[in-house]
Amino acid sequence: MTWETVIGLETHVELATKTKIFCGCTTQFGGAPNTHCCPVCTGMPGTLPVLNRRVLEFAVKAGLALNCSITRYGKFDRKNYFYPDLPKAYQISQLYLPIARDGAVPIHTDAGDKAIRIHELHMEEDAGKLVHDPWIDQTRADYNRCGVPLIEIVTEPDFRTADEVIAYLEQLKETLQYLGVSDCKMQEGSLRCDVNLSVRPLGSSELGTRTEMKNLSSFKAIARAIDYEARRQIERITEGKRVVQETRRWDENKDASYAMRSKEDAQDYRYFPEPDIPPIELSEAYLDGLRAGLPELAQAKRARYQADYGLPEYDCRMITSDKALAAFFEALVALGAPPKQGANWIMGEVLGALSARGLEPRDMKLTAPTLARLIALVSEGKLNRNTAVKVFEAVFDTDGDVDAYVKEHGLEQVNDDGLVREICAKVLAANPRSVADFRGGKDKAFGFLVGQVMRELKGKANPQAVNAILSQLLKG
């Protein structure tokens, strides 16, 4: 039998506000335990939470960018559960009137284009962090993250493969980063994803029993967990067993998931309207203002780069996959770098250097004027491409001075044809064997001779000039 995997996602995204959702405590990551807390976010009796204006704005912007309809009259609801990560014993969330609904996210995979429907997007507060201390057999509660604003984005069960899930998450991350509403750093927990998965015989329209997977901390973990869980469910059904509806935790070290102990009553949250937060009514003027202020998103940039700069679609995707990278590219072009050359440097050297150092584009020290200068030196024939790559590596970490480095190390390209001709003749004379090989039809010998000339000239010659002069001499 052929099986089909059906997946829906619940993604929690931390909003990039300065303060928490209902109080003025900072949202800064890190900080000694319980130093970013106040009576409101630790749920002291008699305190009154007040909604952060920017949280509302960010949530609406995200809803608009994900093609949702925005709820004009909304409110918050109280989700009751007794667990020490939330000192109030309830989470302020939205159940009945979420801020946005019915959106769609276009995705692109090798299998083609597709739209993933968004069921809803709602605002809520994050919980604190619990760390168990085995020495004293007690749990430490740190409430620094408690009350940090989140949006939860719930999709319809529209995914069929791990590829589609990753493509969606990359698109989501890209959109939210471009909007500036979240930095979406998975390693710091500002983008977290729960995967709901079931399997069914291909062609069936009924949904199978689903499980929910948590603790997925990287795109790689998500892809592996999806493959693992689909296989596990198919095996169970094939063996005549039932899939149990449960929450499973992914263990990245063991490359396996296991069922979390869950009480049957765990789902009884007894939601009711949050009495402390008055309703939210959004005017058409407010929405128009936010719509007008939306920045150019990656998709629009890709279309523009293709149309204005004639860049291939692949290049456009690579460059716009990160907001900081796209900004860097646009700065290069504004400084006069030919777009295709700028793109090549970014996709090759820049991304290579970043990945070798485990850095994100926004953390890069190298500035656009430095790379633009390097590109200009190559265009002007003052540096050859290979030497330029060496200079790039030398200036990358500190945004060093390109001209000073070139001068200090004597790297200027040798454009003295007389000198190149002299060296070529010398190399031919010293390598009669290779010359004979070449004349006997072995093209490889030519590459060897070019290499010898470049070595004599310490890599500083213009490779095109060396090729031309060598060919000429060999013919003669």
Q: Would you tell me which residues interact with other proteins (CB under 8 A)?
A: 17-19, 24-26, 32-39, 42, 44, 50-56, 75, 80-84, 87, 89, 130-132, 136-143, 249, 260-261, 263, 265, 268, 270, 273, 275, 277-281
CA nearest neighbour of 205 among 9, 6, 8: 6
Question: Closer to other proteins at the Cβ: 143 or 159?
Answer: 143
Pick from 292, 294, 295, 360: nearest CA to 328: 360
Q: Which is nearer to other proteins, 47 or 467 (CB)?
A: 47
Least distance from other proteins to the Cβ atom of residue 399, Å: 31
Residue keyed to tokens 């300065």: 18
Could you say which of Zn ion, other proteins, none residue 435 binds, taking C-beta under 5 to 8 angstroms by partner kind? none
Closest distance between Zn ion and the C-beta of residue 351, in Å? Answer: 40
**Min CB(196)–other proteins separation in Å:** 20
Distance spanning both ends of the chain, measured CA to CA: 71
- Taking each helix axis as running N to C, give the angle between helix 313-320 and helix 323-334, from 0 to 180 degrees, rounded to the nearest 10: 120
* Least distance between Zn ion and beta carbon 143 (Å): 8
130 binds, among Zn ion, other proteins, none (CB under 5 to 8 A by kind): other proteins
Nearer to other proteins, 14 or 322 (CB): 14
Residues binding Zn ion: number (CB under 5 A) = 5
The SS3 call for residue 137 is coil
CB of 278 to other proteins, least distance (A): 5
Q: Which is nearer to other proteins, 259 or 419 (CB)?
A: 259
Answer whether 325's CB lies under 8 Å from 352's CB.
no
Contact 91, 144 (CB under 8 A): no
Answer with the entry of other proteins, Zn ion, none that 314 interacts with (C-beta below 5 to 8 A by kind).
Answer: none
51 contact, one of other proteins, Zn ion, none, CB 5-8 Å limit per kind:
other proteins
- Tell me which of other proteins, Zn ion, none is bound by residue 259, counting a contact when its beta carbon lies within the kind-specific cut-off of 5 to 8 angstroms: none
User: Pattern of binders to Zn ion over 13-42, x per CB under 5 A?
Assistant: ----------x-x------------x-xx-
Q: Which does 56 bind (CB under 5 to 8 A by kind): Zn ion, other proteins, none?
A: other proteins
User: Which pair of tokens denotes residue 237?
Assistant: 């059904």
Measured from the CB atom, is 146 or 333 closer to Zn ion?
Answer: 146
Which of Zn ion, other proteins, none does residue 21 bind (CB under 5 to 8 Å by kind)?
none
Q: Which is nearer to other proteins, 127 or 377 (CB)?
A: 127
Tell the smallest beta-carbon distance from residue 146 to Zn ion (Å): 8
> Which does residue 53 touch among other proteins, Zn ion, none (CB within 5 to 8 A, set by kind)?
other proteins
Phi, psi of 78 (to 5 degrees): -105, 125
Q: Are 222 and 193 in contact (CB under 8 A)?
A: yes
Least gap, CB of 35 to Zn ion (angstroms): 11
Q: Tell me the CA distances in angstroms from 274 to 131, 278, 416, one per residue in order.
A: 29, 8, 79
Residue 14 vs 174, nearer CB to Zn ion:
14
Considering the complex, what minimum distance in angstroms separates the CB of residue 36 from Zn ion?
A: 7
Q: Is the dihedral of CA 85, 90, 93, 96 positive or negative?
A: positive
CB 91 within 8 A of CB 124: yes
The partner in contact with residue 136, picked from other proteins, Zn ion, none with C-beta cut-offs of 5 to 8 angstroms by kind, is other proteins
- 369 contact partners, CB below 8 Å, separation of at least 6: 331, 335
Whole-number minimum distance, CB 131 to Zn ion, in Å? 20
- Which CB atom, from 24 or from 106, has the smaller least distance to other proteins? 24
Question: How far is it, in rounded angstroms, from Cα 342 to Cα 39?
Answer: 52
Is the CB of 126 or the CB of 158 nearer to other proteins? 126
Name the residue type at position 387: T
Pairing relationship of beta strands 211-216 and 247-251 according to DSSP bridges:
parallel
Q: How far is the CB of 20 from Zn ion (least distance, A)?
A: 5
Dig out the tokens for 217 from the structure.
């901390």
Find tokens 């507060």 and name the residue.
Answer: 125
Nearer to other proteins, 80 or 415 (CB): 80
Which of other proteins, Zn ion, none binds 307 (CB below 5-8 Å, type-dependent)?
none
Q: Is 59 exposed, middle or buried, given 0-12, 13-18 or 19+ CB atoms closer than 10 A?
A: buried
Our CB check for Zn ion shows the closer of 40 and 366 to be: 40
| Nearest by Cα to 211 from 200, 197, 221, 222 | 197
Helix (H, G, I), strand (E, B), or coil: what is residue 173?
Answer: helix
Least CB distance from residue 27 to other proteins, whole Å? 9
Residue appearing with tokens 């408690």: 146
Specify burial of residue 275 (Cβ count, 10 A radius: 0-12, 13-18, 19+): exposed
Site residues, Zn ion (CB under 5 A): 23, 25, 38, 40-41
